[in-house]
Amino acid sequence: MGNYLKSFGLGNDYLEIADSKFIEEVDSYLKRLFPICRSITGNGVRQSLEILQEIADFDIKEIPSGTKCYDWTIPDEWNILDAYIKDASGKRIVDFRNCNVHVVSYSIPVEKKLSFSKLKEHLYTLSEMPKAIGYKTSYYNLDWGFCLTHEQLESMDRSEEYYVKIDSTLEPGSLTYGEGYIEGTSGEEYLISSYCCHPSMGNDNLSGIVLWAFLLRALKHLKPRHSYRFVLAPETIGAIAYISKNQEALKRVKGGFILTTVAGPGEFGYSPTFLKDHFIDKVVKKTFDELDINYKKYPFQIGSDERHYSAPGLRIPIGTITKDKYYEYDYYHTSLDNMDYINAANLVETYKVYLSIFDRMEENVIFNSLCRYCEPNLGKRGLYPKVGGPSRAKNPALIETNMICGLMFYCDGKTSLFEISEKTGFPMDQLLETALKLCQLNLLEKVF
Ligand code: ZN
């Protein structure tokens, strides 16, 4: 992979530094954040956002329980300290301390003795994956439950009584989310969103929140032309709450990405925007093609928070780049989607692809020709070879001349560098370099 970040003026150096030290740094955050029990509200989200603030500066905001957000209401806040099932001998046979996926998220507090048959109404297993603990939630239905491996269930004595305790609280509090904003000068704004509500699972979606913070740090450092709005909120209710608070501002957003499932061992994938051929889709394709990376092409799905950001009122085109896409991998929404399944090196690969995409978005400048009624006389400016001939297209020495002619032909104040790259086949970074040279010669002017 090459040609990263030229328009930011940093060449590959930034990413080479990243390669040697960055994987270790990313790994340390994955390992610190993995054990925290996150849900759609509560201290797990707060604690996670505070750790991510060490990576990049952003605001942590709270919306009180009971707040109306369109058709939804912010629920009471859920917190949990401990949970277990004990057998008759007092041994914890299911233990929240070993794995927080064991507890159905938003379980109400419970402490009682009950028969196996009564307890079983609250137990969930995956018979097709007997060693995995499935992930379950009960956000809007007051209930409690445990998820356990099918092997654990099979080993339970059906004649025994069991003692269960869920030491949780569900009471008025707030929903917590993170927001970072980078203000550019181009007038274009993009949304980068991820969700922070899953307990200890790696690809979905610890990987997304860690990538979110590192991309925020990188873009802040690179001082981009465009504005970038970074949102990290619980899935569904968090995105809805965020939109309800920022409805008008979000109407300015031209497109965006949802960061999810980005550190699995599988190949890259791309889930397009609902428009399928929006600028976001084209720039992703161009980036993968120019980096020579094969990737799976998924059809549009009304998947994660695209459901809200792309809803009729906003219609923001949102794309998603994945390494083992949600729904698609065997360990999805199970305890086996853990730190053995994902790794920091995979996450860094996705980080590079995203930065490379942002780089092309940044390079998408519009220029206007100052020589409007003919091609300029390149010879008198020393830009044209002294001996002319018909073989211009095949002579590598004339590539720059071809690029100049292409730019002088297409730069009409409307056609963007991305489009010129598509029409001429020249990479955007080379076109940009040449166009800036032509600006110095007063042959082009930068419009936007
Ligand atoms: Zn999920």
Q: Are strands 318-323 and 444-446 parallel, antiparallel or unpaired?
A: unpaired
Interval between CA 97 and ligand 1 midpoint (Å): 21
Q: In the prediction, which pLDDT does 13 show? A: 47
Q: In the prediction, which pLDDT does 387 show? A: 65
Cα distance between residue 36 and residue 67, in whole Å: 26
Interval between CA 205 and ligand 1 midpoint (Å): 7
Residue type, 348: V
- Determine phi and psi for 147, rounding to 5 degrees: -110, 135
CA-based max dimension of the chain? 97
Q: In the prediction, which pLDDT does 393 show? A: 59
Interval between CA 426 and ligand 1 midpoint (Å): 40
Q: Which residue has the higher pLDDT, 19 or 315?
A: 315
Structure-block tokens of residue 420: 């010129």
Interval between CA 138 and ligand 1 midpoint (Å): 14
Burial class (CB in 10 A: 0-12, 13-18, 19+), 316: buried
Q: In the prediction, which pLDDT does 3 show? A: 39
Spatial CB neighbours of 406, under 8 Å, sequence gap ≥ 6: 420, 423, 424, 426, 431
Structure-block tokens of residue 271: 């889930």
Interval between CA 261 and ligand 1 midpoint (Å): 9
Cα distance between residue 264 and residue 342, in whole Å: 5
Interval between CA 165 and ligand 1 midpoint (Å): 26
Interval between CA 333 and ligand 1 midpoint (Å): 6
Q: What average pLDDT does this structure show over 83-97?
A: 97
Per the CB < 8 A criterion, the answer to whether 342 and 198 are in contact is no
Per the CB < 8 A criterion, the answer to whether 136 and 148 are in contact is no
Interval between CA 136 and ligand 1 midpoint (Å): 10
Q: What is the pLDDT of residues 362-393, one digit of tens each?
A: 999 999 999 999 999 988 888 887 766 656 55
Interval between CA 264 and ligand 1 midpoint (Å): 14
Interval between CA 68 and ligand 1 midpoint (Å): 24
| Res. 4: pLDDT tops 50 | no
Interval between CA 273 and ligand 1 midpoint (Å): 19
Element (H, E) at 240: helix 237-245
| Res. 12: pLDDT tops 70 | no
Interval between CA 337 and ligand 1 midpoint (Å): 11
Per the CB < 8 A criterion, the answer to whether 291 and 369 are in contact is no
| Res. 343: pLDDT tops 70 | yes
Q: In the prediction, which pLDDT does 384 show? A: 82
- Determine phi and psi for 272, rounding to 5 degrees: -75, 175
Interval between CA 199 and ligand 1 midpoint (Å): 10
What secondary structure letter does DSSP report for 307?
Answer: H
Percent of the chain having pLDDT more than 70?
Answer: 93
Structure-block tokens of residue 106: 């938003």
Q: Are strands 189-195 and 227-233 parallel, antiparallel or unpaired?
A: parallel
Structure-block tokens of residue 67: 């707040």
Interval between CA 212 and ligand 1 midpoint (Å): 16
- Determine phi and psi for 112, rounding to 5 degrees: -165, 165
What secondary structure letter does DSSP report for 75?
Answer: P
Interval between CA 301 and ligand 1 midpoint (Å): 15
Q: What average pLDDT does this structure show over 136-154?
A: 97
Interval between CA 277 and ligand 1 midpoint (Å): 26
Lowest-pLDDT choice from 53-67, 83-97, 130-144, 390-404: 390-404
260-279: buried (b, 16+ CB within 10 Å) or exposed (e) per residue?
Answer: bbbbbeeebbbbbbbbeebb
Interval between CA 260 and ligand 1 midpoint (Å): 9
| Res. 309: pLDDT tops 60 | yes
Percent of the chain having pLDDT more than 90?
Answer: 88
The whole-model pTM stands at 0.93
Q: E-strand spans in 26-182? A: 59-64, 68-69, 72-73, 77-86, 92-95, 110-115, 123-124, 146-147, 161-171, 174-182
Using pLDDT thresholds of 50, 70 and 90, give the confidence band for residue 357: very high
- Determine phi and psi for 399, rounding to 5 degrees: -60, -45
| Res. 268: pLDDT tops 70 | yes
| Res. 243: pLDDT tops 90 | yes
Interval between CA 425 and ligand 1 midpoint (Å): 39
| Res. 275: pLDDT tops 80 | yes
Q: What is the pLDDT of residues 385-435, one digit of tens each?
A: 776 665 655 666 688 899 999 999 999 999 999 999 999 999 998 999 999
Cα distance between residue 165 and residue 252, in whole Å: 49
Per the CB < 8 A criterion, the answer to whether 146 and 170 are in contact is no
Interval between CA 355 and ligand 1 midpoint (Å): 24
| Res. 10: pLDDT tops 50 | no
Radius of gyration over every alpha carbon of the chain, rounded to an integer in angstroms: 26
Burial class (CB in 10 A: 0-12, 13-18, 19+), 17: exposed
**How many degrees, rounded to 5, is the angle at CA 256 between CA 24 and CA 52?**
35
Interval between CA 177 and ligand 1 midpoint (Å): 17
| Res. 26: pLDDT tops 50 | yes
Interval between CA 153 and ligand 1 midpoint (Å): 24
Q: E-strand spans in 196-345? A: 227-233, 253-258, 268-271, 295-297, 318-323
Other Cβ atoms less than 10 A from the Cβ of 164: the count is 21
| SS3 call for 437 | helix
Q: What average pLDDT does this structure show over 76-96?
A: 98
